[in-house]
Amino acid sequence: MNEEVHIIMKIIVTKDNIEGGTKAFEIIKKGMENGDKVLGLATGSSPIPMYDDMCDSDLDFSDMTSINLDEYYGLKPDNDQSYHYFMQKHLFDKKPFKHSYIPNGMAKDIDEEVDRYNDIIAANPIDIQILGIGRNGHIAFNEPGTPFGSLTHKVQLTESTIKANSRFFDNEDEVPRQAICMGIKSIMQSKKIVLLAFGESKQDAVKALVEGPVTEEVPASILQDHPDVTVICDEVAAAKLDPKYRK
Ligand SMILES: N[C@@H]1[C@@H](O)[C@H](O)[C@@H](COP(=O)(O)O)O[C@@H]1O
């Protein structure tokens, strides 16, 4: 256990995901007041309450840039399971940004798409990166074993992720097996990181993220080495944490 790391990582335990979403929204709001221009955005159920707060707010994002973490490979943007569709529905329809970037899941030439996305990230340094966490400790679609030095890449999803994400599809067979995803190195280059984790299924991942060794087997554990990380989790997700982190 690295004591120095725990002084840096800020942990906010909330009653539920709604309160957690509001905490994350407040961080974004404050960041924008201080001149932040680029938000790194995530999909999944965890950030939805935060997006609801953003949509209900009077904040104007029309001068902002957003960069999403990932997209399923092989899903068209109008497929209701694609992350393009998700972002339109939960945020961009109500709050358009000046520029919004999401990996192109239909790209024929993967190498070209990877280069394009890395160039976008390099040209738009991320001020605040929002993250969820997978049950196996993945961040974005960076599965266990992904090198910490990775940039944007095509990934093979693990059985654990396919199973977990099948709740959004009609059945497990429909879950794409591959995705295009921002790499861990790029995520770590964000100025500030806010990770959201809610519910019982995230208990082990949250414990490993906060208390476990920094290992590529738990991609999120690298966040212990980032200077500005806030973990926002509900009481249930935080239940296995050492009480000293559950304030
Ligand atoms: N690619 C996404 C991740 O970015 C997300 O963090 C994770 C958890 O999703 P949820 O928030 O629905 O639990 O799901 C997917 O695998």
* Ligand 1 touching residue 68 (CB < 6 A): no
Ligand 1 atom closest to Cα of 179?
1
Would you mind telling me the total number of residues written for the chain in this entry? 247
Residue 246 falls inside a structural domain: no
Q: What pLDDT is recorded for position 107?
A: 96
Residue 7, pLDDT > 80, answer no
* 165 in active site: no
Q: What pLDDT is recorded for position 8?
A: 80
What CATH number has the domain bearing residue 90? 3.40.50.1360
Over residues 160-173, the pLDDT tens digits come to 999 999 999 999 99
Residue 112 domain boundaries: 9-241
Query: Quick one: average pLDDT of 108-127?
Result: 96
What spacing in Å lies between the alpha carbon of 153 and ligand 1's midpoint?
17
pTM: 0.95
Please count the structural domains in the chain.
1
Residue 112, pLDDT > 60, answer yes
What spacing in Å lies between the alpha carbon of 30 and ligand 1's midpoint?
25
Ligand 1 atom closest to Cα of 43?
4
Q: What pLDDT is recorded for position 5?
A: 47
What spacing in Å lies between the alpha carbon of 163 and ligand 1's midpoint?
12
Residue 3 falls inside a structural domain: no
Residue 119, pLDDT > 80, answer yes
* Ligand 1 touching residue 161 (CB < 6 A): yes
Q: What pLDDT is recorded for position 245?
A: 85
* 26 in active site: no
Residue 80, pLDDT > 50, answer yes
* Ligand 1 touching residue 165 (CB < 6 A): yes
Separation between Cα atoms, residue 152 and residue 115, nearest integer Å? 8
Task: Give the model's confidence band at 247: pLDDT under 50 very low, under 70 low, under 90 confident, else very high.
Answer: low
Per cent of the chain over pLDDT 70 is 97
Task: Give the model's confidence band at 25: pLDDT under 50 very low, under 70 low, under 90 confident, else very high.
Answer: very high
Contacts of 141 (CB under 8 A, 6+ apart): 69, 70, 155, 157, 161, 179, 181
Per cent of the chain over pLDDT 90 is 94
Which is the catalytic residue, given 36, 53, 70, 113?
70
Which is the catalytic residue, given 143, 165, 226, 234?
143
Q: Which residue's C-alpha comes closest to atom 4 of ligand 1? A: 140
Residue 71 falls inside a structural domain: yes
Over residues 120-137, the pLDDT tens digits come to 999 999 999 999 999 999
Residue 86 falls inside a structural domain: yes
Q: Which residue's C-alpha comes closest to atom 9 of ligand 1? A: 44
Q: Which residue's C-alpha comes closest to atom 15 of ligand 1? A: 44
Q: Residues 95, 61: contact at Cβ < 8 Å? A: yes
Output the six-digit token pair for 2.
Answer: 């690295």
* 70 in active site: yes
Ligand 1 atom closest to Cα of 196?
11
Residue 20 falls inside a structural domain: yes
Query: Quick one: average pLDDT of 108-122?
Result: 96
Residue 26 falls inside a structural domain: yes
Query: Quick one: average pLDDT of 62-71?
Result: 98
Which is the catalytic residue, given 68, 71, 113, 136?
136
Residue 1 falls inside a structural domain: no
Over residues 216-241, the pLDDT tens digits come to 999 999 999 999 999 999 999 999 99
Query: Quick one: average pLDDT of 182-205?
Result: 98
Q: What pLDDT is recorded for position 246?
A: 76
Query: Quick one: average pLDDT of 13-33?
Result: 98
Mean pLDDT of the chain: 95
* 138 in active site: yes
Query: Quick one: average pLDDT of 101-109?
Result: 96
Helices 17-33, 48-56: crossing angle, 10 deg rounding: 50
Residue 2 falls inside a structural domain: no
Q: Which residue's C-alpha comes closest to atom 8 of ligand 1? A: 134
